[in-house]
Structure 1
Amino acid sequence: EVTKVHHPGTEVTVLGPGRADLEAFGGNLMDVSRRPLVIETSLRTSARALRDPAPLPDGNDYRDVG
């Protein structure tokens, strides 16, 4: 999807969970007691990622899995 949009020249920013986010999630994604920590962590890490986005890898790194 990223390649299809990015190829014609549209600017694309991809956000995904980083190490801190995954640690906040814990091993049980259904554990609602972790929700406040997950939200706090996501707000912090997402803001940081949007302020200083890393470039997308070469389009060859993306595969269409259909």
Structure 2
Amino acid sequence: MRKGKGYIFFESLVSLSLLVGMTYGYLMTSIQLQKQTKHQLEKIEAYRDHYIIIHHQRLYPDEN
């Protein structure tokens, strides 16, 4: 029976470390994807703003 308690502790420790590792990996991946998404949205917004300016210049060329 004495071997069983040490084994249960070791197994619990391994399980906990795997859980922490997987959670950390998930969080890092999630943060990276959020940063990429934010960057892409900012890029799209800049393209949209540029399009609006060009479109306005084409419609009203005398104002500039």
TM-score (norm 2): 0.30
Report which of the two has the higher share of helix.
2
Structure ranking higher on relative contact order (CA contacts 8 Å, 6+ apart): 1
Which TM-score applies when normalising by structure 1? 0.29
| Larger of the two Rg values belongs to structure | 2
